[in-house]
């Protein structure tokens, strides 16, 4: 494998193909891209048991006006899926701006925190999902909770979509889908719905996740190019941060604490990041040429802001093959200061002062970038 030296890192070179050939054109990249996607399936997140199920239906539970002082329409949709092991339901919550021309662009949050962060009645308001603010900026605010797809615990892959779609009684392969892949699958089923909702401009939908949800957003965006924008907030290990040379959480630490998140095969890289056939800058590059937004927080050393920033720099050459700017300051060694988001290119990045969290400041930056690039 060809390596590229970047900052303190030695990482697999994105622009060297499987036969050692140089990738210098968009056409060559489009052949290389599915190979990289396949490597992530095989070695990192695992392979989905199913794509869009034949039995998938959308049930409108509620559609009501007058929310947010009359500025929003609320919809609650049950996305119901069936497989050999039973039925599952993703409860989608959607607030759509009432007072502007529709269809509107949308931000879909993969909520990995407490359910209250996405309160349908707006009694509880949260900076983690500031729906009023998102709507005030002219975007629909959509969210679902990960537990509707797969509970976030190591249940032996019995519950959630694994129980519904994995054949019972058969030993799981090393590349079977883990829980992050399951959540990403859920976000794609929400996209199946959004694509049919006439109030939503399906060509301008962003998938957003924080931390484990950010890892999920990246894997979702890599596989599902219907998302025009992919947002990784503080996603760290197994997300936007390169694994080789990473500080804070390592492949071994994450696999030991969260054995259900990744594929079985990923465990064989515990303490052996250098043996991985991919690294996470290659995952970021799978978003190209779409808009990608990566964030770090100054105190989030567990995620490693440097490893997240460098991954953006290293993914940028793929955007350049499309004639687009990737990270605006690609090549600059130092991260931008907090409060100075880099948003000129199709890879946007900011460092926020503070802890591991998703805040209204982060949302305001995502929306600024969407205003700039998705119109
Ligand atoms: C941590 C985990 C991180 C991150 C975080 C979160 O415990 O080590 O990888 O996913 O949880 O999701 O908030």
Domains plus CATH for the chain? 3-50+99-373 (3.40.50.1820)
**Residue 196 pLDDT > 90, yes or no?**
yes
CA dihedral 39, 210, 154, 225 (to 10 degrees): -40
Summarised one tens digit per residue, pLDDT across range 260-304 is: 999 999 999 999 999 999 999 999 999 999 999 999 999 999 999
Q: Which of ligand 1's atoms lies nearest the C-alpha of 236?
A: 9
Angle at 371 between CA 212 and CA 191, to 5 degrees: 50
Per-residue confidence band for 142, with pLDDT thresholds at 50, 70 and 90? very high
Summarised one tens digit per residue, pLDDT across range 295-317 is: 999 999 999 999 999 999 999 99
120 and 91 Cβ atoms separated by less than 8 Å: no
Q: How much distance in Å is there from the Cα of 326 to the middle of ligand 1? A: 27
239 close to ligand 1 (CB < 6 Angstrom): no
Angle at 198 between CA 192 and CA 121, to 5 degrees: 80
232 close to ligand 1 (CB < 6 Angstrom): no
Per-residue confidence band for 215, with pLDDT thresholds at 50, 70 and 90? very high
Summarised one tens digit per residue, pLDDT across range 47-67 is: 999 999 999 999 999 999 999
211 close to ligand 1 (CB < 6 Angstrom): yes
CA distance 181 to 173: 14
The per-residue pLDDT for 5 is 66
Burial classification of residue 36, based on how many CB atoms lie within 10 Å of its CB (0-12 exposed, 13-18 middle, 19 or more buried): buried
Q: How much distance in Å is there from the Cα of 320 to the middle of ligand 1? A: 32
Per-residue confidence band for 7, with pLDDT thresholds at 50, 70 and 90? low
The residue nearest atom 13 of ligand 1, judged by CA position, is: 211
107 and 358 Cβ atoms separated by less than 8 Å: no
Q: What does the pLDDT average to over 212-227?
A: 99
pTM of the model: 0.98
CA distance 132 to 139: 10
On whether ipTM exceeds 0.95, the answer is yes
Burial classification of residue 147, based on how many CB atoms lie within 10 Å of its CB (0-12 exposed, 13-18 middle, 19 or more buried): middle
Q: Which of ligand 1's atoms lies nearest the C-alpha of 249?
A: 8
Q: How much distance in Å is there from the Cα of 241 to the middle of ligand 1? A: 13
CA distance 192 to 161: 17
As beta bridge partners, residue 76 has: 62, 93
111 close to ligand 1 (CB < 6 Angstrom): no
Summarised one tens digit per residue, pLDDT across range 14-47 is: 999 989 999 999 999 999 999 999 999 999 999 9
Q: How much distance in Å is there from the Cα of 36 to the middle of ligand 1? A: 25
Q: Which of ligand 1's atoms lies nearest the C-alpha of 238?
A: 9
173 and 264 Cβ atoms separated by less than 8 Å: yes
Q: Which of ligand 1's atoms lies nearest the C-alpha of 215?
A: 10
**Catalytic residue numbers?**
211, 356
Q: How much distance in Å is there from the Cα of 299 to the middle of ligand 1? A: 14
- The pair of structure tokens assigned to 93 is 């919550």
Q: How much distance in Å is there from the Cα of 188 to the middle of ligand 1? A: 22
The per-residue pLDDT for 109 is 98
Q: Which of ligand 1's atoms lies nearest the C-alpha of 254?
A: 8
152 close to ligand 1 (CB < 6 Angstrom): no
328 close to ligand 1 (CB < 6 Angstrom): no
């Amino acid at each position: 494998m060809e390596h590229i030296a970047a900052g303190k890192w030695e990482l697999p070179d994105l622009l060297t193909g499987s036969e050692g050939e140089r990738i210098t054109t968009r056409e060559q990249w489009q052949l290389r891209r599915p190979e990289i996607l396949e490597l992530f399936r095989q070695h990192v997140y695992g392979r989905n048991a199913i794509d869009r199920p034949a039995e998938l239906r959308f049930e409108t539970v509620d559609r009501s006006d007058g929310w947010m002082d009359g500025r929003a329409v609320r919809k609650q949709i049950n996305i119901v899926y069936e497989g050999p092991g039973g039925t599952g339901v993703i409860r989608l919550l959607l607030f759509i701006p009432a007072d502007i021309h529709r269809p509107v662009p949308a931000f879909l949050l993969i909520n990995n925190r407490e359910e209250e962060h996405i309160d349908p009645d707006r009694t509880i308001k949260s900076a983690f999902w500031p729906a009023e603010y998102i709507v005030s900026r002219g975007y629909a605010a959509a969210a679902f909770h990960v537990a509707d797809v797969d509970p976030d615990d190591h249940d032996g892959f019995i519950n959630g979509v694994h129980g519904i779609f994995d054949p019972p009684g058969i030993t799981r392969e090393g590349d079977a889908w883990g829980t992050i892949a399951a959540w990403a699958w859920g976000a794609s089923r929400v996209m199946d719905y959004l694509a049919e909702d006439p109030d939503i401009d399906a060509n301008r939908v962003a998938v957003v996740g924080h931390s484990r949800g950010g890892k999920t957003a990246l894997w979702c965006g890599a596989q599902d190019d219907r998302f025009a924008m992919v947002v990784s907030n503080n996603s760290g290990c197994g997300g936007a941060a390169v694994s080789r040379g990473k500080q804070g959480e390592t492949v071994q630490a994450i696999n030991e604490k969260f054995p259900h998140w990744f594929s079985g095969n990923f465990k064989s890289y515990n303490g052996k990041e250098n043996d991985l056939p991919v690294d996470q800058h290659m995952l970021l590059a799978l978003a190209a040429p779409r808009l990608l937004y990566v964030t770090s927080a100054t105190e989030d050393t567990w995620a490693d802001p440097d490893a997240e920033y460098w991954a953006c720099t290293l993914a940028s050459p793929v955007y350049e093959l499309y004639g687009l700017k990737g990270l605006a300051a690609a090549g600059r060694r130092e991260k931008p200061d907090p409060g100075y988001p880099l948003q000129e290119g199709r890879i946007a990045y900011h460092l926020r002062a503070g802890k591991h969290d998703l805040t209204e400041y982060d949302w305001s930056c995502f929306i600024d970038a969407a205003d700039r690039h998705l119109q």
